[in-house]
Structure 1
């Protein structure tokens, strides 16, 4: 499938010779020193954008912290900090619970506080506002954009669009208001772009893939890394990375692994949140296969596991284009994943990986079994996936190049 995205010859303007312009980035879901592995793709997008030479200011609206309870750790989020190549600011807003009834109140608070914080902290106005979602990020930036007549570009990874019907009516109105103002609504997959067109004119909607940078993956050290991890040459390392929750298919994965009658398998599961954390850890502990669960790993450690793995397994119930598949492709690891969302846009079934139906533990076990019987095929699929990543230019550098083209276009409409 061809990405419905801006070509390199599109959006040429009189400013092409001068790449410098000023961007305000907004991402409520952004890593910080308290929540270090939260939505790393938002950080990587901004980091790549900053590397193009734009002048970038970033805000990450952060809830006021209650004194006690599960959300009290928010009090440790700093007011501002350097994150990668840019500085992030964390203006506080009121986040009201339960979300089902009061999410719109949270949105109104974020909008008010982001506007005032930006105007007193940065040189304003910016030339364009880039948000990492329609809600809260896009709506939080709306007053500032309107006040200064700034174009808004919103990148959706799926949550606000696919969960639209779960929001209360006021939040739905706020999302529609944000889409109406936005100059461009960007999605990470063609499948999600089709969803976006239910809410926005087709001319506003574009597919902007994210990606991964292969040079960060030490594929030439694969055997050495496996020795360091204690994985024997004949042992197959199965890797799962994601939230430990039902939507990621961890129940089906646990059932498939329990039924997998082999003695040449070891499992590594890397988690970073999810309501089924302890349930999944208990199930892994009961397996006959050796298994190890990692929690909130540093990205360097995650890349090493990708390089060492024989197969990435992702039995999700729904996805857009998961970052973890781009990572596997960069590491030359084949992928077994559900045939849902934007995943079929990434994986060529039978060539770079294998697609399997969601919610089907028996089929997942059967597919695992026959793939593990053919390690040569696994290596060929991993190499083909790596080449597909390169051929499609699914890298952060290319992501940022396309994003700057879109910015220049909307700034001169």
Structure 2
């Protein structure tokens, strides 16, 4: 039996956490969280209130949204004694052998409880916890203690793994496991001519406004091209103002934050996927964006930046085109080249789908995580269909 900890289970962008719950150990999983919202979709035993809500929970909701990373900076390194006792008892009742803690900042909370219950501890790094928090001396010190006590540290990319090695994580405790997707959900696109797509939160590290700028530079050369953006966030107002300024309101469509099913539908019609990820001013970086893998699974060529783990998925010149961060002109020319040569774009898209099938499916992720966590091999391969495990 394994336990998976996440503060929340209903954050729209954290599909990877819900996928870990669904596919890592179906029928042999229990959940630990701060708030149980969204946990009922899994029908697993749940221990909530761990850790107790931080002061952020009492702030106005708009302030909390602006301070999205605030919970990652949670000041306590360990649980209170009463919380720890509850966790240990929960582990014992359910015969838990190993716990997977989402985000490094939360991993240190479980070290003592795991030692008391003789449970293996694995902490899963993602993006901001590996790139923003290590800039603070307090968190570098805490991470080194986590590295010493954890049985394994899991990262979504080799790039993130190298960053953790630099602050003291032993090589032999690191396991690289990119998030996977269900290829059955993302069949090859119909590739509607001139249709470009951006998917992701409107935050600095994803920089949707820079993708809009790239499109604006080539829009007059391709009058039938249009740009769809799915997502929301603090950069929405800036992005909309840019579209108005460039007189592109009839060709750039903002769809807001939408469901996974809506994104799947958009990818079924798009011709090119673009994402201009950059390193934010506070050091925040991507891990390996799941939306890029979903686009590749949809046989879309990807135009993106050489940022964090993206080059580990997108092969420049084969499955898409990579440019340097903030190089809007090169991104614009990459888009223009693929719009002018749809056959080349289609070839890249097909190669990208094959790369996902070979390396980035849920089955690959499940097997990598099971190996990293020393879980028993499954007797039969899992059958994935419509998000369910049979």
Task: Please point out which of 26, 29, 39 is paired with 2:14.
Answer: 39
Indicate the SS of the match to 1:82.
Answer: helix
Comparing 248-257 with 375-384, which one deviates more in the overlay?
248-257
Instruction: Report what 2:117 is aligned to.
Output: 148
Query: C-alpha distance in 1, partners of 2:154/2:207?
Result: 27
- Could you tell me the TM-score, scaled by structure 2's length? 0.82
Partner Cα separation in structure 1 for residue 46 and residue 300 of structure 2:
33
Kept after mapping to 1: 8 A contact 2:198/2:208: no
Gaps of 5+ in 2: 57-66, 279-284, 377-390
Q: Are 1:257 and 2:221 counterparts?
A: no
Hey, what's the Cα distance between the residues in 1 that align with 2:113 and 2:94?
10
Q: Residue 2 of structure 2 aligns with which residue?
A: 23
Q: Distance in 2 between matches of 1:101 and 1:151?
A: 24
Per-residue displacement from partner, 1:363-385 (whole Å, max 9, x unpaired)? 22122112211111111111000
Q: Is the 8 A contact 1:307 1:333 kept in 2?
A: no
Q: Pick the aligned partner of 1:295 from 233, 250, 256.
A: 256
Q: Provide, for residues 134-188 of structure 1, a one-character-per-residue CA deviation record: whole Å limited to 9, x for no partner.
A: 112x122223112212211111113222123433x43333222212111111111
SS at match of 2:20: helix
**Is there any run of 5+ residues in structure 1 with no aligned partner, and where?**
1-21, 63-76, 227-232
Q: Distance in 2 between matches of 1:175 and 1:112?
A: 21
Structure-to-structure mapping, 1:125-140, within 5 angstroms? 126-136=96-106, 138-140=107-109
CA contact (8 A) 1:81 1:89 kept: no
Structure 1, residues 341-388: CA drift from partner, whole Å, max 9, x if none? 111111111111010111122222122112211111111111000111
Kept after mapping to 2: 8 A contact 1:157/1:320:
yes
SS in 2 for 1:320: coil
Matching of residues 197-208 of structure 1 within 5 Å: 197-198=165-166, 199-208=168-177
Q: Decide which of 385, 391, 407 is 2:373's aligned counterpart.
A: 407
Question: What is the distance in 2 between the residues matched to 1:158 and 1:335?
Answer: 20
Q: Which residues in structure 2 correspond to 1:337-352 (within 5 Å)?
A: 337-352=304-319
Match of 1:386 in 2: 353
Check 1:205–1:280 CA distance in 2 against 1; reply closer, same or farther (3 A cut). Answer: same
SS of 2:374 mapped into structure 1: helix
- State the TM-score, normalized to the length of structure 1: 0.78
* 1:172 equivalenced with 2:151 (yes/no): no
Worse-matched range after superposition: 81-90 or 158-167: 81-90
Q: Distance in 2 between matches of 1:363 and 1:128?
A: 46
Q: Are the counterparts in 2 of residues 186 and 206 from structure 1 also a CA contact under 8 Å?
A: yes
Confirm whether residue 60 of structure 1 aligns to residue 38 of structure 2: no
Q: 2:228 maps to which residue?
A: 268
**How is 1:10-409 mapped onto 2 (pairs within 5 angstroms)?**
22-28=1-7, 30-32=8-10, 35=11, 37-51=12-26, 53=27, 55-62=28-35, 78=37, 81-84=39-42, 86=44, 89-91=47-49, 93-96=52-55, 103-108=73-78, 115-119=84-88, 123-124=93-94, 126-136=96-106, 138-167=107-136, 169-198=137-166, 199-219=168-188, 222-223=189-190, 233=192, 235-260=193-218, 261=220, 262-272=222-232, 274-286=233-245, 287-288=247-248, 290-317=251-278, 318-392=285-359, 394-408=360-374
Give the whole-Å Cα distance in 2 for the aligned partners of 1:402 and 1:100. Answer: 30
Aligned residues: 352
